Structure 1
């Protein structure tokens, strides 16, 4: 019976298992038609969560690596069947992206306006490492509108190829391999991937209903000697919590006391306009690297991020990294985003996305009831269901069996002893009817948990 070796080549256990399956199929260790272990058996033999195995098997089916036959089990697919599979009907609530319909409806018309731009063909050349001046200026205007940050210094703003690149630049500018990075006890999984590749250690910090606890941050900084805090103070991912103004001031005070740099991820501010205070960097621009972008507000495919550095030295250091790694940022996505910001399309898309998320959030919260922690703003695109880690793994497994893929419980957890649960992303689902069906299935899976069904 197949017992894979999980190499330390991917951040998550699920990623390692899927990588091992791909590798063993390619190397002939697993042959076409061979029956795979049951989910429960493999989980027991590897000492991992049942939900993790279920998630991996479902992804392997989607990729065409294996086939699953009800009542018979899972089998390695014939090599001829390894072409991209048809949609298996799974409803995916694991990726935190906005509904794309508002942007899609306006996309074709955008090209007509772009054709009239006198600088259109200029975007086929290399952009400056910090991005074109017009994109930076319009990006600063956009950030003021969606975050309440009225003091953006355009001279320290860099346009990046997505917020993920901005995060990588921030960490690599401020830290060296082996350094400890502080973050919420549950945090954005992409940050954990960056830390692994960069050789950084992570330490989770305890939270309450407003996010990071100042005393816990102070203690963690003192004990670890960390020099950097990564935080999402507005609609924190995965919990949907918002730091109050007072809490933000307390976090800044600890950062100054302990010499911490703050990397502030503010991607979800667009869903809390009028609810959240201005970002930390508005009050402490000398200690913060501010990051935002268009992936959650407009469309992830634009790949546009904005990063505001605290001083000229770190700004120059980030530009040196850009030149060394990619030489010049992609500019076509930034051109589209800038066009939308300038002509008002971005504001229209945001208004529609916010309204859609408000409606979807109401549907989901109504069906999930008390199992769902109410987000600090009802427009939040992700919902948090707090529960012990083992219950979270079992819920993920039951949901997958019911045809709903949710975020693997292990993905956001830095310290499951402080905080654990399941995240549901309600933006990526095709429409409200599909969302209703998906959430009903998750609610049924929750009732199975309450009745002791594993």
Structure 2
């Protein structure tokens, strides 16, 4: 088969659940291995290929960068990317061992890691240790449900949290899935912010729900827009992140939350409240589950605040028959929640280690946020908490793709700009996460690369104007 040229190479992407950049990388690898792309062939410019395939520029850039790291291609500034000699090539390693991760919103691991050994010793002395070898009830073991309710009350402002309406889950993502399943059916459309947590988008796509993204302002979802939208269709629910909204980091005031509650009651909307970041904003107003307990599914957990590997989430359901509906779904899909992650979380909550871990994480995140503000300056939207785990760089979708691509070529991975967008053109920009790097030195290197990318994008935009 003759080698494909710059003009006519259009890869065929296989269907599947893998990220698009991985499928593009697989197509590139396959064409190199079959000889469809010969050694020395020049790949299309990233922007041209993105337009041809209908993909975001950042997606194509990510595939090209990964191809270079895998030894499939080599890039030359000003000339382009070329297929290396040989079918497979050799892996190319960056000097720091890989990309600097500013895309993943997790807490620094040190505080939890330093206590794990002692915690495992303590677990051996627990009277309920062997209970965790059996199936838990669908809502979880009582000790873990009680601990979860206590944790939500003291770390998330959920005053009066009722453990009898709490369901333990395999992470907050499963809690979201259970909440969506309790209020929506296949084909229903759920209201949400114009840009929201990517897990909500993935869940909706997988479960056959539609999402209608609504305009936001400096406090998040606008109640007037919610009122107008709810009046025009048969909507059952609205999904909201009121505290440190993902991706923007905005926090709703008490007054804004009251307005949202009034609209929800007016149109009989259920509220799915994702409050996973409440621990990073101790002074945030009370959650919707306090303001409107009769219609709020409250989602939280410890993955973002203690350790992601615990996969321990919590779902507080409204009074009534919602608990039965949720538990039927648990039985059908997983039969029971996992026990051992919840056991570690329970031990930490009961003996106070969770409070100490969080205090140390908040101190570290305060320092990291100060570093981000110093390096990125006015490029970021003013953070609404001194220990916010991510910052938001508002800009057009095109500039956001350019920034993400430049950062990636510099060795830094930020959240793909298109990942949170539900309704294009309303709330666009780049989320930069501050907790995933091993230390502040790596974070500083990454932030400086992002700052350079911001300056490059600004210069290009001024040139176009």
Superposition TM-score, scaled by structure 1 size: 0.93
Deviation at 1:8, TM superposition (A): 6.2
Which residue, 22, 29, 44 being the options, matches 2:26? 22
Identify the residue that residue 45 of structure 1 maps to in structure 2: 52
Identify the residue that residue 374 of structure 1 maps to in structure 2: 382
Deviation at 1:124, TM superposition (A): 1.4
Deviation at 1:409, TM superposition (A): 0.5
Q: Secondary structure at the match of 1:292?
A: strand
Hey, what's the Cα distance between the residues in 1 that align with 2:106 and 2:56?
26
- Is 1:404 the counterpart of 2:408? The answer is no
Identify the residue that residue 296 of structure 1 maps to in structure 2: 304
Q: Secondary structure at the match of 2:293?
A: coil
Hey, what's the Cα distance between the residues in 2 that align with 1:4 and 1:401?
22
Hey, what's the Cα distance between the residues in 2 that align with 1:67 and 1:140?
52
Larger radius of gyration: 2
Structure 2 vs 1, CA of residues 358 and 328 (structure 1 numbering), >3 Å: closer, same or farther?
A: same
Identify the residue that residue 353 of structure 1 maps to in structure 2: 361
- Is 1:56 the counterpart of 2:63? The answer is yes
Hey, what's the Cα distance between the residues in 1 that align with 2:177 and 2:452?
40
Structure 2 vs 1, CA of residues 217 and 6 (structure 1 numbering), >3 Å: closer, same or farther?
A: farther
The question of whether the paired residues in 2 share the 8 Å contact of 1:7 and 1:16 is answered with no
- Is 1:180 the counterpart of 2:193? The answer is no
- Is 1:105 the counterpart of 2:114? The answer is yes
* Alignment length (residue pairs): 449
State the Cα RMSD in Å: 2.5
Hey, what's the Cα distance between the residues in 2 that align with 1:408 and 1:424?
10
Identify the residue that residue 345 of structure 2 maps to in structure 1: 337
Identify the residue that residue 123 of structure 1 maps to in structure 2: 132
Q: Secondary structure at the match of 2:447?
A: helix
Identify the residue that residue 276 of structure 1 maps to in structure 2: 284
Hey, what's the Cα distance between the residues in 2 that align with 1:97 and 1:233?
19
Hey, what's the Cα distance between the residues in 1 that align with 2:49 and 2:412?
21
Which residue, 216, 220, 225 being the options, matches 1:211? 220
Structure 1 unmatched ranges of 5 or more: none
Q: Secondary structure at the match of 1:223?
A: coil
The question of whether the paired residues in 1 share the 8 Å contact of 2:166 and 2:317 is answered with yes
- Tell me the alpha carbon deviations over residues 393-426 of structure 1, each in whole angstroms, 9 at most, x when there is no partner: 0010111111111011000111122111000001
- Tell me the alpha carbon deviations over residues 197-237 of structure 1, each in whole angstroms, 9 at most, x when there is no partner: 01111111111111111100011112232111100000111
Identify the residue that residue 385 of structure 1 maps to in structure 2: 393
Structure 2 vs 1, CA of residues 228 and 30 (structure 1 numbering), >3 Å: closer, same or farther?
A: farther
The question of whether the paired residues in 2 share the 8 Å contact of 1:357 and 1:379 is answered with yes
Hey, what's the Cα distance between the residues in 1 that align with 2:379 and 2:93?
36
Alignment of 1:286-325 (within 5 A): 286-325=294-333
Structure 2 unmatched ranges of 5 or more: none
- Is 1:415 the counterpart of 2:423? The answer is yes
Hey, what's the Cα distance between the residues in 2 that align with 1:181 and 1:5?
33
- Is 1:427 the counterpart of 2:431? The answer is no
Hey, what's the Cα distance between the residues in 1 that align with 2:111 and 2:351?
15
Structure 2 vs 1, CA of residues 88 and 280 (structure 1 numbering), >3 Å: closer, same or farther?
A: same
